[in-house]
Chain A
Amino acid sequence: MTLAVFFGCAFIAFGPSFALFVFTIAKDPLRVIILIAGAFFWLLSLLLSSLVWFIAIKASNSQDLTLQRGLLIFGVFFSVLLQEVFRFAYYRLLRKATEGLAAISDDDGSAISVRQMAYVAGLGFGIMSGAFSMINILSDSLGPGTVGIFGDSQYYFITAALMTLALTLLHTFWGVVFFEGCEKSRWWVIAAVVSLHLLVAGLSLLNPLYEGSLPPVYVITLATGVWAFFSSGGSLHSLSALCTRRKAEGESS
């Protein structure tokens, strides 16, 4: 549907994550490495889960539509579980790496804290997940047509972009919360993250009933964002400090 839609959807889906990358990650090479490794771990989880789904599809009757839909649902949930398993695996890997990083750094402590690694790992997961959700759809949005001739909704592209944005942010927040839960051995946190992920994946299966999928997902995103903020050490006090600092800067300039 032309360049306007292509750029619009691309920036909606990837704009925030791109901005986060540029302002918080790009300057520190260690963070970049952790980001890319996180993306790679997500890719591995996707590869394995899609292999399972593919074998299931090929072994089944392709004409039976309810069976195919059932297999899709199974594939989605299995993929969610596998992603969380790989997130845990990445956490273990990063914990092992912290000791090594502390040994080679100039300061006494490690060059990067677990909380920062959590955020970067989550963002890595989010970016790769967003890319795989969106790239295929973006390439088709370049043509002159929009979705709808078979009766689908004409808002397909923009809702896909919004969903991708939500998922990217969610992965980031989940990364923070998950690592924090593992550090403090609070297993209910991990269970909550997994259930939230399953819930969001299940909501996406409601499409094309976009009213049923997008608002709840954004509510969850907001809630998870607040949870991640408080979990990583933020407080109302620091928020107010942010505003006064800004005011002070405003007065002094």
Chain B
Amino acid sequence: MSVQLNRVLIYADFTGVLCSSVEQKIYVVLNETVPCVRLLNATHQIGCQSSISGDTGVLHVLETESDLDWILSSGPHPPYMVIMETAFFNRSVMMRMKNSSRVAGVAVIISKTGLADNFSPHTTCPNQNTGVYSESYGSDLANCNGTVWNPLGNGLSYEDFSFPVFALKDENQTQVLRKCYEDHNQRVNGSAPQYPLCAMQLFSHMHAVTDTVTCMRRTDLQNRFSINPEVLCDPLSDFNVWTSTRPLNNSAKGHAADESVVIAATRLDGRSFFWEQAPAAEGTVSGIVTLLATIQALYPVTQEAPPPRNIFFSFFQGEAFDYIGSSKMVYDMEKNDFVIDMNNVHSMLEIGQVGLRSGRSLWMHSDPVSRQNKSVDTEVSEEEGKLSLFSHLTVDHPSVSQPLPPSSFQRFLRARRIPGLVLADHNTSFTNRYYESMYDDAENLNVTYPPGLTPDEQLVYETDAAKSLAEVATLVARSLYLQAGGEEKNLNNITADPKIVTQEHHISSPHDSRPGPPQFYIGLGPRVHGPAHSVTRFVQYILANLTGTVTNLTESQCQNPSELSTENKDLFSYFWVSGPASVNGTREPFCVRASVRLSKAVSPAFELLEYGSRNYSTWTESRWKSIRARIFLVASRELEVMQPALVELTETKQKNISAKTEIMFIK
């Protein structure tokens, strides 16, 4: 009786709302599910798929090599639902699972215990087909012929699995699964476990198949001919965030007269094997934080002593998926549909992965092919010189001629050979051992606090990581100022504050109001998910805070500023913010005017309706109806088959007797 009570208590926490009480006796619904979904591009589908009515399998925990043999060959109760320990989530094991017919699905335990020294599910050569290097441009550098950027990449994110793969992030939920396995499925002295066995069912049926071309064709057919159209997939889309030191007229598209612009850029997104999981600390957050600190350091000086050139800061969304944001911006520039065009661009400085410097030098990467042109070469060398002016931080360029790392700058180079540099903490291949994976979190960035600090104290404590990034930000800010033609005498006023950096670092760590760090996956944008991704909004508001001015407009004026003659909706955007909380909890809202804007980040392939495009990103995400998981017991096939046999017995007897009722009862 007590055993049963224990079980009821452990499982009772996990049953969701079920309809009937018999159903409640059978199923334990798992609430915290993190699936792997299907993504499609012009030619392939990647990700995971389950059957339409879910995939069921007997649970087995994969902890040792003998477990692997049991699952793949010797176990008597296939198909199995594998609970995979962290150490076994690698390419060789997953490929063996993929090729086996005895695996119904995989649930991966995500934890730091047993984590290998490196894990990157991305490819070894990110975005190799949509960068600048191709057969016609630097063919000896294309496809990572010279330098392999992500040698630790195992390409798992780009494989196509025909069974569902879920991630188990919640420790309590994993404990429930382990308990069920230990109670029913454990092998005793090597012999097979007896029925009834614990089983799990995973639902993650994806509607889209084959590739984007097929999926968009079917969606178009649905939209045209069906009364209730069923959309099968959506293009990945969101917004880029941009701002400039001198406001640009947003309604005047095309070439901006008398504007020479230095672009400072970084990326805003990341990804991992699982859906909407992308902590991307070293891959993305380090760049965002550095650029924000740069803006904070640079902005006041550019208002007091404006340099001749404008400085344009841009955060590109969707760079993990073949440069969605930067290709869209370049496309708009070439079509004269943006505030500036390629003729306005003087040079570019991009901030790549800069978080794992750990006291060493920073590297400046440039494109050797465009530098074959003398004038471009001189410009780039000048730009490098401006970066090397400061002795407290060493900056080097790679000794051998190697291509640019994957960066938004490559898309600008495809349009025009402009001088530019990419800053990174790596010389040849990435120092990030967890590139585009779920383990690229604050711990990977070595953000550590001394023990015993309260959360408020942590908010202002200057970690080593913060100080390191602040140094990079100072360097970038000063060199941008020089690049824009500013005078050297103002340089000492440009310093990034590590306190600001450490506060911004909190966008990479868990917070009270939300369960876990923010995720940087691009998502599906305004049509599907509402206004803009939370991270995009967050960066937009921080920029407005750093670069904007407080006005004394009322709320209605703030929302319709064109009615006032002193305000200019073309040059600025207006935000009605709720303000800081005062002592007694009330807030005084006010209107902020800033030159921060969002620009649409959807691949030009979807505007041009070229779904099979080789030049632009064609990534779409499939739609689905329900994604859930549940566990229960299954009985043996013998028991199942025995019941119809019983029926046969009763039926034959019945027929005999009923036919004879008249004889028995006639009087």
**Residues from chain B with Cβ under 8 Å of A234 in the complex:** 664-665
* Cβ contact within 8 Å between B199 and A144: yes
Residues from chain B with Cβ under 8 Å of A137 in the complex? 22
Q: Is the Cβ of A150 less than 8 Å from the Cβ of B7? A: yes
Residues of A102-157 at the interface with B, using a CB-CB cut-off of 8 Å, are 115, 136-137, 139-140, 143-152, 154, 156-157
Q: Is the CB of A245 within 8 A of B663?
A: yes
CB distance from A18 to the nearest CB of B (A): 9
Residues of A within 8 A of B665 (CB): 115, 232-234, 238
Candidates A11, A147, A165; contact of B22 at CB < 8 Å: A147
Nearest-CB residue, chain B, relative to A234: B664
Across the interface, do A140 and B26 meet the contact criterion of CB distance under 8 Å? Answer: yes
Q: Is the CB of B644 within 8 A of A145?
A: no
Give the contacts of B154-191 with A (CB-CB under 8 A): 180
Contact indicator per residue, chain A 224-250, by CB within 8 Å of chain B (1) or not (0): 000001001110001101100110000
How many chain A residues touch the partner (CB < 8 A)? 46
- B590: chain A residues at CB < 8 Å are none
Q: A8-B644, A150-B7, A242-B664 are in contact. Are A145 and B27 (CB under 8 A)?
A: yes
Chain B hits for A238, CB < 8 A: 663-665
Q: Does B141 contact A (CB under 8 A)?
A: no
A16 adjacent to B654 (CB under 8 Å):
yes
Tier of interface size on chain B: 35 or more
Select from chain B the residue with minimum beta-carbon distance to A137: B22
A190 to chain B, nearest CB (A): 22
If over half of A's interface residues share one DSSP class (helix, strand or loop), that class is named, otherwise mixed; here it is helix
Q: Do the beta carbons of B631 and A15 come within 8 Å of each other?
A: no
Given contacts A146-B196, A147-B633, A154-B633, contact A15 B23 (CB under 8 A): no
Roughly how many angstroms separate A23 CA and B659 CA in the complex, as a whole number? 7
In the complex, A60 has a CB within 8 A of chain B: no
Do B650 and A12 touch (CB < 8 A)?
Answer: yes
Residue from A152, A165, A241 whose CB has the most chain B CB atoms within 10 Å: A152
Indicate with 1 or 0, residue by residue over B187-223, a CB within 8 angstroms of chain A CB atoms: 0000000001011010000000000000000000000
| CB-based contact B658/A20 at 8 Å | yes
B residues near A20, Cβ cutoff 8 Å: 654, 658
Encode contact with B along A1-37: 1 for CB under 8 Å, 0 otherwise: 1101101110110011001100110000000000000
Q: In chain B between 1 and 20, which residues have their CB closer than 8 angstroms to a CB of chain A?
A: 3-4, 7-8, 11, 20
User: What 0/1 readout, one digit per residue, does chain B (454-495) give for beta carbons within 8 Å of chain A?
Assistant: 000000000000000000000000000000000000000000
Q: B645 — nearest CB in chain A belongs to which residue?
A: A8
**Is the pair A239, B664 in contact by a Cβ cutoff of 8 Å?**
yes
Question: Does A71 lie at the interface of the complex (its beta carbon under 8 Å from any beta carbon of B)?
Answer: no
By the criterion CB–CB under 8 Å, are B643 and A150 in contact? Answer: no
Which residues of chain A have C-beta atoms less than 8 A from B655's C-beta?
A: 19, 23
Q: Which residues of B contact A241 (CB under 8 A)?
A: 663
Question: Is there an interface contact between A146 and B26, defined as CB atoms closer than 8 Å?
Answer: yes
Are B25 and A156 in touch, CB under 8 angstroms?
yes
Binds A, one of B39-47, B316-324, B394-402, B634-642: B634-642
Tell me the nearest residue of chain A to B642, going by C-beta: A8
Asked if A149 contacts B634 (CB within 8 A), the reply is no
- Measured CB to CB, the closest approach of chain B to A207, in angstroms, equals 12
Return B569 CB to nearest CB of chain A, in Å: 58
Contact with A along B249-264 (1 / 0, CB 8 A): 0000000000000000
A7-B644, A136-B22 known; A151-B4 Cβ under 8 A: yes
The answer to whether B65 has its CB under 8 Å from any CB of chain A is: no
Choose among A5, A15, A136, A242 the residue that contacts B640 (Cβ–Cβ < 8 A).
A5
Complex contact B22–A140 (CB within 8 A): yes
Cβ of A222: which chain B residues have Cβ within 8 Å of it?
none
Q: Given A16-B654, A154-B635, check contact A4 B659 (CB 8 Å).
A: no
Whether A145 lies near B632 (C-beta < 8 A) is: yes
CA distance A229 to B661 in the complex (A): 11
Determine how close the nearest CB of chain A comes to the CB of B77; give it in whole angstroms.
Answer: 14
For residue B651, CB closer than 8 A to chain A, the reply is yes
Of B3, B26, B201, which one neighbours A149 at CB under 8 angstroms? B26
- Whether B25 lies near A147 (C-beta < 8 A) is yes
Tell me whether B453 is interfacial, beta carbon within 8 Å: no
Most chain A CB neighbours (cut-off 10 Å) among B3, B54, B639: B639
Whole-angstrom distance between the Cβ of B202 and the nearest chain A Cβ: 12
Q: B106 near A: Cβ within 8 Å?
A: no
Q: Are B654 and A146 in contact (CB under 8 A)?
A: no
Closest residue on chain A to residue B25 by CB atoms: A147
Check B647–A8 contact: CB distance below 8 A: yes
Q: Are B643 and A4 in contact (CB under 8 A)?
A: yes
Whether a CB of chain A sits under 8 angstroms from the CB of B528 is no
How far is the CB of B161 from the nearest CB of chain A, in Å?
A: 21
CA separation between A20 and B647, bound complex, in Å?
A: 15
Q: Is the CB of B634 within 8 A of A1?
A: yes
Asked whether, in the complex, the Cβ of B647 is within 8 Å of the Cβ of A12, the reply is: yes
Question: At the interface, yes or no: A56 with Cβ under 8 Å from chain B?
Answer: no
Residues of B near A8 (CB, < 8 A) are 640, 642-644, 646-647
| Residue A158 lies at the interface, judged by CB distance under 8 Å to chain B | yes
B-chain residues with CB within 8 Å of residue A148 when the two chains form the complex: 26, 196, 633
Chain B residue with Cβ nearest A158 = B643
Chain A neighbourhood of B647, CB < 8 A: 7-8, 11-12, 15
Residues of A within 8 Å of B595, CB to CB, are none
Known: A19-B658, A23-B658, A136-B22. A150 touches B4 (CB 8 A): yes
Is the CB of B56 closer than 8 A to any CB of chain A? Answer: yes
Cα(A16)–Cα(B199), bound, Å: 34
B643 contacts which chain A residues (CB < 8 A)? 4-5, 8-9, 12, 157-158, 161
CA distance A39 to B237 in the complex (A): 61
Nearest Cβ on chain B to A135's Cβ, whole angstroms: 11
Contact B632 A149 (CB under 8 A): yes
Interface flag for B374 (CB, 8 Å): no
CB distance from A146 to the nearest CB of B (A): 5
Contacts of A245 in B (CB 8 A): 663
* Chain B, residue nearest A144 (CB): B56
Closest chain-B Cβ to A122's Cβ sits at a distance in Å of: 14
Q: Looking across the interface, which residue of chain B has its beta carbon closest to that of A155? A: B639
B22, A15: Cβ atoms closer than 8 Å: no
B23 touching A149, Cβ below 8 Å: no
Contacts of A242 in B (CB 8 A): 660, 663-664
A242 to B23, CA, bound (A): 47
Pair B640/A1 contact, Cβ less than 8 Å: yes
B84 interface hit (Cβ, 8 Å): no
The residues of A that contact B3 with a CB separation of less than 8 Å are 151
How many Å lie between the Cα of A139 and that of B196 in the bound state? 20
Collect the chain B residues with CB atoms within 8 Å of residue A7's CB: 644, 647
Contact B650 A150 (CB under 8 A): no
Give the top 9 A-B pairs by smallest Cβ distance, nearest first.
Answer: A8-B643, A145-B632, A151-B4, A23-B658, A11-B647, A148-B633, A19-B654, A4-B640, A140-B22
16 contacts between A and B (CB under 8 A): A1-B640, A5-B635, A5-B643, A7-B647, A11-B650, A12-B646, A19-B654, A20-B654, A140-B26, A144-B199, A144-B632, A145-B27, A146-B632, A148-B26, A149-B26, A154-B196
- A interface with B by C-beta (< 8 Å): 1-2, 4-5, 7-9, 11-12, 15-16, 19-20, 23-24, 115, 136-137, 139-140, 143-152, 154, 156-158, 161, 165, 229, 232-234, 238-239, 241-242, 245-246
Given contacts A20-B658, A146-B634, 10 further A-B contacts (CB under 8 A): A8-B640, A15-B647, A136-B22, A145-B634, A146-B635, A148-B26, A148-B633, A149-B27, A229-B664, A234-B665
Residues of B at under 8 Å CB distance from A?
3-4, 7-8, 11, 20, 22-23, 25-28, 54, 56, 180, 196, 198-199, 201, 630-635, 639-644, 646-647, 650-651, 654-655, 658-661, 663-665, 667
